[in-house]
Amino acid sequence: WQTLPQVYHLGLVEQALGSKIILEISTAMLLSKHDQDERGFKADALVRSILRRFQTMAFYYGSNFKKVDMKLLREDLKSLSYRSDLHFQKRYRYSNRHKSEIPIGGFEGSLELSNVSPFIGSILKIGETINVGKGAAMGLGQYRIRATE
């Protein structure tokens, strides 16, 4: 959370990460069931999930958040293509409250994104700081961006 204000005060400044990047997912990432497919999950669902989490955090903890042009986002997401090297990892944590194991599994591995616009790049950069998906508040959904070009 310490680095978020620096990113947040920039608003959604477009970051040129390159048109082709790799997301290395280090902790289990699980999006909602309708956002998943046979390759893991849909790349556009990942971007929308990051943006939704960031907007919620900005609403409760910040101010001066720029309103996102959803029409521009939809156009950029149409050109986004991806190749997935994800695998589902079953993990559990023990809950003292429930006296049982709670599943916290999700997808791990890498996701190669092509045709990444600077607008989507800025959203992905924010997601690198705040995590995304189910259990993000507990440290799940963490990834790092690696540029390939």
* pLDDT exceeds cutoff 80 at 3: no
- 127 vs 147: CA distance, rounded Å: 15
Name residue, tokens 């521009």: 72
How far, in Å, CA of 57 to CA of 136, rounded? 12
Dihedral of CA 149/144/86/78: which sign?
negative
Mean pLDDT, to the nearest integer, of 144-148?
A: 86
**Sign of dihedral through CA atoms 77, 82, 87, 91?**
negative
- The percentage of residues in the chain with a pLDDT greater than 90, rounded to a whole number, is 21
What are the pLDDT digits (tens) for 92-143?
A: 989 999 999 988 888 899 999 998 888 888 889 889 989 998 888 888 999 9
Question: What's the CA gap between 134 and 122, in Å, rounded?
Answer: 21
